[in-house]
Amino acid sequence: MHNKHSKLEPVFRFLAKIIIRLLYDVKYSGFDKIPKTGPVLLIANHVSYMDGPILQSCCKRPIRFIIDESIYSLPMINYFMRKNRAIPVVPSKESVQAMLDAISDGLENGDAICIFPEGQLTYTGNLGRFKPGIEWIIERDPVPIYPIAIKGLWNSMFSRKYLKSVFRWFPKGIRGRVTLLCGDVIHPGSATVNHMQRVVLGLKNSLDKS
């Protein structure tokens, strides 16, 4: 059964965009390549817990995110996750199957769904290995894929850079420049995990040089 839009979803997206713009100096390009309607997958590197809200603030259409169950279930956060139709997952056969079914259902109904193929936040600031599960999703639902690179959040308190620091939650990177670049569409027929990783790495490298 399709997870229907909440009437509050546009309100949450609008408020999130305002908050993001207060916290960060966000610059983005290439997002006009993403179709305004129809099923698409977005893939991006995963730097911080702010990646999702920042991605959403750059995109003109609602994005549904694949979220770790431990984050999805946090008190208060869970309310917003449900209203924004996030899809939770844990590393178990039943949970992964439920996630795949939810993704299929969403794509069949024309949703834009974002996946972080590294499967976790980076521990180094560099791009980690993409998990093979992204190929399962595309084989099951061959829709257009749009690669995105994110730069500027490694110094954020919401990244893993300061994971063991006693000063982790002190403000860092507030109003810092965050840059996002959306690349050209990847057609599902060429969407191997290695190819997708190379594309996102190329986008990331181009941001690093800019």
123: tokens are 């521990």
| 142: in domain | yes
| 3: in domain | no
Tell me what pLDDT residue 48 has. 87
Distance in angstroms (rounded) separating the CA atoms of residues 73 and 26: 28
Tell me what pLDDT residue 180 has. 97
> Is the Cβ–Cβ distance between 41 and 143 less than 8 Å?
yes
| 2: in domain | no
68: tokens are 């770790």
Distance in angstroms (rounded) separating the CA atoms of residues 210 and 65: 28
| Partners of residue 179 on adjacent β-strands | 27, 151
Domain that holds residue 200: 9-209
CATH number of 143's domain: 3.40.1130.10
Give the pLDDT of the chain (210 residues) as one tens digit per residue: 445 666 767 777 788 788 888 888 999 999 999 999 999 999 999 998 889 989 998 998 999 999 888 777 777 777 777 777 888 887 778 888 898 999 999 999 999 999 999 988 888 889 999 999 899 899 999 999 999 999 988 877 667 666 666 655 555 555 678 999 999 999 999 999 999 999 999 999 999 887
| 4: in domain | no
What's the domain count of the chain? 1
Tell me what pLDDT residue 111 has. 96
| 1: in domain | no
| 141: in domain | yes
Distance in angstroms (rounded) separating the CA atoms of residues 112 and 42: 7
| 182: in domain | yes
Nearest partner of 46 among 66, 27, 60, 64, judged by Cα: 66
| 123: in domain | yes
> Is the Cβ–Cβ distance between 78 and 151 less than 8 Å?
no
